[in-house]
């Protein structure tokens, strides 16, 4: 499997906890990256479009109470394929980090 782009991996990670709408995904990514990656609407929905086509995510038909939520919002959730892709990417990154540690590029995590 080819490495995922950072945007795709971040979106997959955001959806691991459950379905979210675009702004929810954007906020979680911004928080996780310390606001170094703030996805604009074009990037977010362009990436989601490609992910929908690739079967990594799907639109959720369930919506919260319409009175509490704007009808224009769309909710997305992970598919099984999306979860597998996220796991594969996380393992790939973990292997890379292990390799970096083996070369003393990174400190080993301290045990509590």
Least spacing, CB of residue 68 vs another protein, in Å? 14
Cβ distance to another protein smaller for residue 3 or 46: 46
Count the residues of the shown chain that bind another protein, applying the rule CB under 8 A: 18
29 neighbors 75 (Cβ within 8 angstroms): no
60 closest CA partner among 28, 42, 82: 82
Tell me how far apart the alpha carbons of residues 15 and 77 are, in angstroms, rounded to a whole number: 6
Q: Which of residues 29-88 bind another protein (CB under 8 A)?
A: 38-46, 49, 70, 72-74
Q: Where are the beta strands (DSSP E) in the chain?
A: 20-21, 57-59, 75-78
Please state the closest distance from residue 26 (CB atom) to another protein, in A. Answer: 7
Nearer to another protein, 62 or 105 (CB): 62
Cα torsion angle, 88, 15, 45, 79, sign: positive
Is 73 or 98 the residue whose CB approaches another protein more closely? Answer: 73
- Interface residues with another protein (CB under 8 A) are 21-23, 26, 38-46, 49, 70, 72-74
């Amino acid at each position: 499997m080819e490495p995922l782009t950072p945007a795709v991996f971040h979106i997959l990670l955001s959806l691991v906890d459950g379905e979210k709408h675009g702004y929810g995904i954007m906020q979680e990514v911004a928080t996780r990256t310390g606001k170094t990656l703030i996805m604009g609407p074009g990037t977010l929905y362009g990436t989601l479009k490609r992910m929908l086509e690739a079967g990594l995510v799907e639109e959720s038909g369930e919506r919260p109470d319409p009175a509490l939520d704007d009808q224009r919002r769309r909710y997305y959730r992970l598919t099984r394929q999306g979860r597998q892709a996220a796991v594969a990417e996380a393992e790939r990154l973990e292997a890379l980090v292990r390799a970096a540690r083996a070369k003393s590029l990174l400190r080993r995590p301290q045990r509590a």
